[in-house]
Amino acid sequence: MVRRFVAGAGLAALLIPAALGAGTAGASPPNPVDRFQETPRTGVISPKVLPVGADPSSRVKVMVQLTQPSVAEVTADRGVLSRGQQKKIERDLLRQQTGVVAAAKAKGGTVLAQTQYALNAVKIEIARKDIASLAQQPGVKAVLPVATYELDNATAVPFMGVPQVWQDTGFTGAKVKVAIIDTGIDYTHADFGGPGTVAAFEAADATDTTPANPDLFGPDAPRVKGGFDFVGDDYDASEAGSTPMPDPNPLDCNGHGTHVAGSAAGGGVNADGTSYTGPYDATVAGTDFQIGPGVAPQADLYALRVFGCAGSTDVTVEAIDWAVENGMDVINMSLGSPYGLKDDATALASSNAAAAGVVVVASAGNSGPNPPQPLLVRRSRRGRRRRSSGGHGLDRDLPGRRDPSVRHGEHPGDLRERRHPARRRQAHRGRPEGQSSDHRERGARVLEGGVHLQRHRRGPQPARGQAQPRSR
């Protein structure tokens, strides 16, 4: 009985397709393409457009590192060097770099910078296909990526209990040299002992490519003791063909660097708009300010401008090199990239500077809590150095370096302000009060020559597009 049932089922399975086929014999299945209307050809599609990473003739920026140690590395190994010893090392490294410079020029490359203090390297723009030949030059240690950075910043001074530290220790940052690698500093601002007027800023802005007024900027100025503009107003590393135009006057036309400098070492601005000059102790907490003092209100500030009025930068190594050469105690970089490597040129230069005794502080966590994190180096008063893992962002395929396989994305921050007189006046007067930051906050205590980093909880989240807070 079971066998007859199975046989019957099998026969039915054979007959059903036959019956269905009999009803559609000779008919072709419908072609889905027939649903589309054909459009006549009106042009030619070229397959010759290549992504930048796949085009061997595309020009890229690299940092060619050489084998001899930089001044910072020698300092870390031997201890403090005299100025004469530093200059001798500088001359030796320049001689070693001549071969790479000549090879790059022979291949049609452009030498953008040479550094000897934080990193023994030559910055070159060259066709991608010629990078391998640079790596084979005598004395070359590695070909390093040149990352592009965006601005980062958050304020935390009100939550750090700094006035009590001033009261208990007497340390207010006096005689500590702090280099702010950023968009420059508005040295006319009352927060740094300047007049604090729009007229004073506009007068400085009118001559912002010539040496600044020595009463406001330089060794005899109240707070901003020096610095350099590495790029000029119009530079943006993200724009093809944009070229740095250095000058001796690092006046801020964006506002970010002024904000950062104020958070780190601003003296404070009284309710009437004049500069606050002290005392710096526990009584500060009850004082009525337009802008409260920064963490180290008596530190000496140095403005190293690496950003134009808007956009990004790739000139950080040159600024770190300047800071090491000129004896800075602290380097502050409130900038970053979402992804990258721990061994790009900026990361290595930062590590070398820290090994030589410079405190290097970089923003972290602005693109989220996930690794990789930006490089962050600190030295405690006992001299121990600590460095987080991670690095800065880039997408370069260079000899001896792993390909991160990650496209460099734009920073999600809201500080890409276009140059405009109204923006400049706002930068001069300070950021709007009462607005919260959407960045994770890190404060830096610059006391007795050391920096202590402190993480704070994230505050209320503002709507996208709000400016950074100017209040501290």
- Is 264 a residue whose pLDDT tops 80? yes
Structure token pair of residue 445: 């205590």
Q: Which band of pLDDT confidence, cut at 50, 70 and 90, is reported for residue 222?
A: very high
What pLDDT score does 32 carry?
78
Does residue 16 or residue 180 have the better pLDDT? Answer: 180
Structure tokens at 41: 């050809």
Q: Which two three-digit tokens encode residue 411?
A: 């920073």
Tell me the C-alpha distance between 50 and 72, whole Å. 41
In the structure, what pLDDT confidence band is assigned to residue 407 with cuts at 50, 70 and 90?
Answer: very low
Where a domain ends, among 97, 122, 145?
145
Band (388; pLDDT cuts 50, 70, 90): very low
The predicted pLDDT at position 273 comes to 93
CA gap 278, 167 in Å, rounded: 12
Query: Is residue 179 located within the same domain as residue 215?
Result: yes
The CATH number given to whatever domain includes residue 220 is 3.40.50
Model confidence pLDDT, tens digit, residues 17-54: 444 444 445 567 788 777 777 777 666 655 555 565 66
Q: How high is the pLDDT of residue 444? A: 33
| Residue 205 falls inside a structural domain | yes
d(CA 80, CA 31): 81
Q: What pLDDT does 434 receive?
A: 32
Which of 119, 145, 171 is at the close of a domain?
145
pLDDT in tens, 266-277: 999 999 999 999
**Which one has a higher pLDDT value, 442 or 100?**
100
- Do 160 and 132 fall within a single domain? no
145 pLDDT higher than 50: yes
Q: What is the pTM of this model?
A: 0.69
> Can you give the pLDDT at residue 158?
56
Q: Which domain holds residue 59?
A: 55-145
The fraction of the chain above a pLDDT of 90, given in percent, is 54
Q: Is residue 137 part of a domain?
A: yes
Structure tokens that stand for 95 in this block: 């001689």
**Using one digit for the tens of pLDDT, what is the confidence trace for 102-126?**
999 999 999 999 999 999 999 999 9
| pLDDT for position 107 | 95
d(CA 74, CA 450): 22
pLDDT digits (tens, 9 = 90+) for 195-217: 999 999 999 999 999 999 999 99
pLDDT of residue 447: 36
Q: Which two tokens stand for residue 20?
A: 């269905």
139 and 157 fall within a common domain: no
Task: Report pLDDT for 227.
Answer: 98
Averaged pLDDT score across all residues of the chain: 75
Phi, psi torsion values for 91, nearest 5 degrees? -65, -40
Do 141 and 199 lie in one domain? The reply is no
Q: Which pLDDT value is given to residue 400?
A: 36
Q: Would you say residue 13 lies in a domain? A: no
**What does the pLDDT average to over 308-328?**
96
- For 288-309, the DSSP string reads -EEE---SSTTSEEEEEE---S
Q: What does the pLDDT average to over 123-137?
A: 94
Report pLDDT for 179.
Answer: 98
Residue 3 confidence (pLDDT) above 70: no
Helix or strand or coil: residue 56? coil
What is the structure's pLDDT at 342? 75
Q: What is the predicted pLDDT for the residue at 304? A: 98
Exposure pattern of 249-266 as b/e (b: 16+ CB <10 Å)?
Answer: bbbbbbbbbbbbbbbbbb
**Alpha carbons 71 and 113: distance in angstroms, whole number:** 17
Which has more confidence, 126 or 447? Answer: 126
- Same domain? For 324 and 233 the reply is yes
Same domain, 211 and 106: no
The pLDDT of residue 341 is above 90: no
Judge whether 356 lies within some domain.
yes
- 193 & 305 share domain: yes
Residue 141 lies in a domain: yes
Residue 87 has pLDDT above 80, yes or no: yes
What pLDDT, on the 0 to 100 scale, is given for residue 401? 36
Identify the CATH number of the domain in which residue 117 sits. Answer: 3.30.70.80
Number of separate domains in the chain: 2
Q: How many CB atoms lie within 10 A of CB 210?
A: 9
Q: How far apart are CA 291 and CA 287, in angstroms?
A: 10
Pairing of strands 330-333, 359-362: parallel
The pLDDT of residue 52 is: 57
Structure confidence at residue 30 (pLDDT): 80
Query: Is the pLDDT reported for residue 471 higher than 80?
Result: no
Q: What is the pLDDT of residues 150-189, one digit of tens each?
A: 876 544 555 678 888 899 999 999 999 999 999 999 999 9
Least confident of 245-259, 353-367, 437-451: 437-451
**pLDDT band, very low/low/confident/very high, at 368 (cuts 50, 70, 90):** low
